[in-house]
Amino acid sequence: MVEFDQDKEKTHPEFRLWLTSMSVDYFPQMLLHQSIKITSEPPKGIRSSMIRSYTSIINSKTELHWYNESQKFETWQKLYLSLSFFHAIVRERRRFGPLGWTAQYDFNDSDFRISMRQLYNMVDSFENVPFKALCYLTGQCNYGGRVTDERDRRTLNAILLDFYNEQVIDENQPYYIVNDKFKKYYIHKGETAREYLDYVKHLPDEESPLLMGLHENAII
């Protein structure tokens, strides 16, 4: 327990205390009222969301070491990229209001991180990637646990099937996440997380609603 002297004359005028916390009920309201609040807003756009997925790994020595320890490194990296695409797309569909989802589901980093850990474990633990089990855990439990509408749940799992399948890890041909029209959006093959980050940074700025599984007029 750290104690502070409350005597203002003894406190340095430039003293500041930074606290980080998740949103919890037991955080003292009086402290909140007297503090300057800073929140971390989720990134907007598919490219920005995916950049965050990679920078959070690269900027942490512990997580980067863990990322590089997979016994099936090439398969793991492709599926991590695929999961990053999926996470960005289901979040971006919220931009389109009821056209995207019937409710404003709060898909967040915790959904991504638990899905990422499960993906890592299953890639390393099984000879063949158990896509059926991964789709259930990710689509029905992690992300689907937030979904209240049955049609939204069906849509979510239909989108996930585009990212968790054998074609994603196929060595013989590139896998475009939508169709050949969007050739810049594909499952990249790289050697390191930084190479994948560099690929993500060069994705287009303008993002068509077709990437989110919507009609191109949805932007109107």
**Is residue 3 included in any domain, yes or no?**
no
Please count the structural domains in the chain: 1
pLDDT in tens, 72-106: 999 999 999 999 999 999 999 999 999 999 998 98
SS3 percent helix, strand, coil of the chain, rounded to 5, is 55, 0, 45
Q: What is the pLDDT of residue 137?
A: 96
- Say what the pLDDT of residue 15 is: 77
In a domain, 35, yes or no: no
Range of the domain at 167: 46-219
pLDDT tens digits, residue range 37-59?
A: 776 666 688 999 999 999 999 98
Q: What is the pLDDT of residue 32?
A: 74
Q: Considering the domain boundaries, does residue 41 fall inside one?
A: no
Is residue 1 in a domain?
Answer: no
Q: Does any domain span residue 93? A: yes
CA-based end-to-end distance of the chain: 55
User: Can you give the pTM of this predicted structure?
Assistant: 0.81
For the stretch 154-195, pLDDT in tens is 999 999 999 999 999 998 888 888 776 788 899 999 899 999
Residues 6+ apart with CB under 8 A from 53: 84, 87, 88, 112
The CATH number of whichever domain residue 69 belongs to comes to 1.10.8.720
Q: In Å, what is the CA distance from 70 to each residue of 51, 74, 124, 150, 190?
A: 21, 9, 6, 36, 15
**Mean predicted lDDT score pLDDT of the chain:** 88
